[in-house]
Structure 1
Amino acid sequence: MTTTATQTGQKSWVVALVLCLFLGMLGAHRFYAGKIGTGILQILTFGGLGLWVLIDLIMILVGKFADKDGNALAR
């Protein structure tokens, strides 16, 4: 059985969006969502030179960004 982002977690969509907008190059939104490993990678690569941050921003805006447990962010 696979888990999809149909359950809503306790992490806020708005907080993740603001963190991604202002501190995305440092992976702050990924640390907030509990994704420590990819947060560190974003620090080391400056958000994939901005491309990774842009993709994450779009995913947050359309509601496809999930926390470390695969739960959707709370709106």
Structure 2
Amino acid sequence: MTAPYQGAAASSEKLLLPAFLLAFFFGFLGAHRFYVGKIGTAVLMILTVGGFGIWTIVDLILMLVGKFSDKDGNVLTRWS
């Protein structure tokens, strides 16, 4: 049995602009993931140098298309 449709994800209080800038300049350190509260994956990004760069690029693309979320699963939708 599948779960009932829950609707669109809620909007995060975090802003996209700081997350994007952190990812662009310090993505290999997982700075943007620390910003949105994803501490575990941020530490993994430090240990793998941003997933050898690929993970950082994927996160940047997710931000640009509006699919990047915070630790609670809320999508970052506002740039400012």
Normalising by the residue count of structure 2, what TM-score does the alignment of the two structures yield?
Answer: 0.86
Equivalent residues in 2 for 1:42-61, closer than 5 Å: 42-61=45-64
Q: Does 1:12 align with 2:7?
A: no
The 8 Å contact of residues 19 and 36 in structure 2, kept in 1 or not, is answered as yes
What CA distance in whole angstroms lies between the structure 2 residues aligned with 1:68 and 1:25?
A: 19
How far apart in 2 are the matches of 1:5 and 1:68?
Answer: 16
- Aligned CA RMSD, in angstroms, stands at 1.7
Shift of the 5–72 alpha-carbon distance from structure 1 to 2, 3 Å rule, reads farther
Q: Quick check: 1:31 aligned with 2:23?
A: no
- With structure 1 as the length reference, what TM-score do the two structures score? 0.91
Structure index of larger Rg: 2
Q: 1:67 aligns with which of 65, 70, 76?
A: 70
Q: Deviations over 1:2-46 (max 9, x none)?
A: 767621111001110000000000000000010000000000000
Larger relative contact order (Cα-Cα within 8 Å, sequence gap ≥ 6): 1
More helix, by proportion:
1
2:62 partner letter: M
Aligned length: 75
Structure 1 position 72, deviation (Å): 1.1
Aligned CA distance change for structure 1 residues 45 and 22 (closer, same or farther; 3 Å):
same
Identity within the alignment, %: 55
